[in-house]
Amino acid sequence: MSMIKTTLAEQAYQELRSLIVSGRLSGGQRLLPNELASQLGISPTPVKEACLRLEADGLLVNSARRGMVVRSFNEEDVEELYAARMLIERGAVEAAFDAGRLDEALRSKLEDNLQNHRRFATGASLDDLTKALTYDRAFHSALVGAARIPMISETHARIVSQTHTVFVSIPGDYSRSVEEHQDILDAVTAGKKSQIVSALQRHLERSRQNTLRQVKVLAETLEPNLF
């Protein structure tokens, strides 16, 4: 019985997380466990458990007035998230380089990722953007994962998911991100640590500025937070 319960809670978690990260559940939207349970075809208990996990991931907030709400991000949140990303990604890449793990297998994986990323990065639809961001997360996850420190990889995954929920609020052309990923891959291929770190930092800084612009646009178009 506990195994079934765990499986349903995991199912609810993955489906709700996907809806949030893809922008189909947007910032400020209230989640009603009974309604969600009906939509997912399961009981409310695993949905409530999934919501608690998503709150721990930083994707939901528990409001005294409105219950569980999809998290909205302000400029201070973005600054904090990118400060963490820069520290984690730079440290992980340097550790992976020193350990000799930025190898041919990783380069091949990153190249395949870029080929797929390019297919969706210029699309204007939410589906295209969601797929492009999936490849974006996978690219950065592969770099961080090369350090082989699971705790760091798990923390990084939560942070990147949070930043991407801002992007899906306003679909756009993210082809520049692909080219910056190409610069990182070229630096990995060249085998120079300083070049890799520089390319990564330039990309994350531009991404930070872009995310801040998104947050400002959202603040101008959405009603003030009710919680």
Both structure tokens of 219: 């603040």
Q: Would residue 30 count as lying in a domain? A: yes
Task: Give the CATH number, domain containing residue 128.
Answer: 1.20.120.530
Do residues 216 and 170 lie in contact, with contact meaning Cβ atoms separated by under 8 Å?
A: no
**208 and 145 fall within a common domain:** yes
**65 and 152 fall within a common domain:** no
| Predicted pLDDT at 100 | 97
Band (pLDDT 50/70/90 cuts) for residue 171 is: low
Q: Would residue 226 count as lying in a domain? A: no
Q: Computed from CA positions of residues 93, 151, 7, 133, in that sequence, does the dihedral angle turn out positive or negative?
A: negative
**90 and 65 fall within a common domain:** no
**203 and 103 fall within a common domain:** yes
CA angle 34-9-25, nearest 5°? 55
Q: Would residue 55 count as lying in a domain? A: yes
Domain count, the chain: 2
Band (pLDDT 50/70/90 cuts) for residue 3 is: very low
**50 and 103 fall within a common domain:** no
**95 and 153 fall within a common domain:** yes
Q: Would residue 227 count as lying in a domain? A: no
Residue 173 scores a pLDDT above 70: no
pLDDT tens track for 41-97: 899 999 999 999 999 999 999 987 778 999 999 999 999 999 999 999 999 999 999
Task: Give the CATH number, domain containing residue 15.
Answer: 1.10.10.10
Q: Which of 20, 50, 70 is the last residue of a domain?
A: 70
Q: Which of 35, 70, 105 is the last residue of a domain?
A: 70
Q: Which of 25, 48, 70 is the last residue of a domain?
A: 70
Owning domain of residue 56: 2-70
Residue 148 scores a pLDDT above 80: yes
**98 and 6 fall within a common domain:** no
**141 and 204 fall within a common domain:** yes
The mean of the pLDDT values for the chain is: 89
Task: Write the burial class of residue 56 (CB in 10 Å: 0-12 exposed, 13-18 middle, 19+ buried).
Answer: exposed
Please write down the HEC assignment for all residues of the chain: CHHHHHHHHHHHHHHHHHHHHCCCCCCCCECCHHHHHHHHCCCHHHHHHHHHHHHHCCCEEEECCCEEEECCCCHHHHHHHHHHHHHHHHHHHHHHHHCCCCCHHHHHHHHHHHHHHHHHHCCCCHHHHHHHHHHHHHHHHHHHHCCCCHHHHHHHHHHHHHHHHHHCCCCCCCHHHHHHHHHHHHHHHHCCHHHHHHHHHHHHHHHHHHHHHHHHHHHHHCCCCCC
**18 and 52 fall within a common domain:** yes
CA angle 92-96-100, nearest 5°? 170
**50 and 94 fall within a common domain:** no
**102 and 24 fall within a common domain:** no
